[in-house]
Amino acid sequence: MGSFQVRTDLALEARESIGEAESELRGVKVDEYYREEEDVRVTKVTIDTKNAAKAMGKPMGIYVTMEAPAMVEPDEDYHREISKCLAEELLKLLPGEDSEQNIMVVGLGNREVTADALGPQTVDNLFITRHIVKEYGKAAYNCNKMNLLSALEPGVMARTGMETAEIVKGVVRETAPDILIVVDALAARSTKRLNRTIQITNTGIQPGSGVGNHRNALTKESLGIPVIAIGIPTVVDSATIVMDAMEKLLEEEQGLDAVKLLSRHASPFPELNNMYMTGKDIDAVIKRISYTISEGINIAMEMRME
């Protein structure tokens, strides 16, 4: 393989690009099931070995992908269904189901750039409870078991002068949550996955992915607590999409091999660095899907109350 790397934040796509047969060989496990009622395909990709991690370009861990084609539609009832699916899948990955926990949600990204505002808009609609329970006890919610939910929007480095990871680390140390849930906009390889795929992973966030690169590692290793990342691809990397379009066209037309052609270039599209591609109705989409995620987290918290 040459120096041109297809860029995707989705383990599902990473696996597709290295081929099914090869991925199984190398220790990538895949389980799929279909939720008929909600028309959601759930794929669980488990990367068990260092070799598999290297081949996939993703750290070891579990990646659950929910593909929900109708998620781009403005159907409120359907979004409620997706939120419930998300709550269930999220709970499977959240450790310590039986005990009360202090959970912090971090909304990554830049509120001022529409396609990157998924994280910030998600934290806007969370049902925050930590300060109430701290002050009035669980009695305030009439329950015996209650998680404490807090939320942080760290902002972006160009405006803070600090790495996102510095801000998150500091607040985690001071307020000592048991678990971190990180929400972020992702980049997909294929336009057909845009805004209709949710990925949940227990690997946290690695440097260099995401729309704006506004972060470095947010992982169990760096923070000392489990980090669950929830993401939806809202953009396609510009170089990737050019590459895909060329591949399709050249093969159709002339049987040329675009990958081979491109792999001879270290950086075939320098003018596309720092550019991204997104849909024209991205504002309405982000408003809807951020609400779907925040409701998913709210429902998951409610399911753990007693």
Rounded distance between C-alpha atoms, residue 145 and residue 100, angstroms: 6
Is residue 78 within the footprint of a second copy (CB under 8 A)?
no
Nearer to a second copy, 29 or 159 (CB): 159
Which span sits near a second copy by CB under 8 A: 40-48, 82-90, 105-113, 224-232? 105-113
Is residue 80 within the footprint of a second copy (CB under 8 A)?
no
Q: What Cα–Cα distance (Å) separates residue 288 from each residue in 105, 182, 231, 293?
A: 19, 18, 14, 9
Rounded distance between C-alpha atoms, residue 273 and residue 105, angstroms: 30
The CB-of-256 to a second copy minimum distance in angstroms stands at 8
Is residue 158 within the footprint of a second copy (CB under 8 A)?
yes
Rounded distance between C-alpha atoms, residue 149 and residue 134, angstroms: 11
Is residue 77 within the footprint of a second copy (CB under 8 A)?
no
Report the chain's terminal Cα–Cα distance, integer Å: 53
Nearer to a second copy, 23 or 195 (CB): 195
Antiparallel, parallel or unpaired: β 227-237 and 179-188: parallel
Is residue 85 within the footprint of a second copy (CB under 8 A)?
no
Nearer to a second copy, 32 or 283 (CB): 283
Nearer to a second copy, 53 or 151 (CB): 151
CA dihedral of 132, 138, 142, 147, whole degrees rounded to 10 = 90
Which span sits near a second copy by CB under 8 A: 6-14, 50-58, 77-85, 258-266? 258-266
Rounded distance between C-alpha atoms, residue 201 and residue 211, angstroms: 18
DSSP structure class, residue 71:
G
Q: Which one of 70, 80, 279, 303 is in contact with a second copy (CB under 8 A)? A: 279
Ramachandran class of 107: left when φ > 0, alpha when ψ lies in -120 to 50, beta otherwise: beta
Residues that bind a second copy (CB under 8 A): 110, 112-114, 123-124, 128-132, 148-153, 155, 157-163, 166-167, 169-175, 191-192, 211-213, 236, 238, 241-242, 245-246, 249, 253-254, 261-262, 264-265, 268-269, 271-272, 274-284
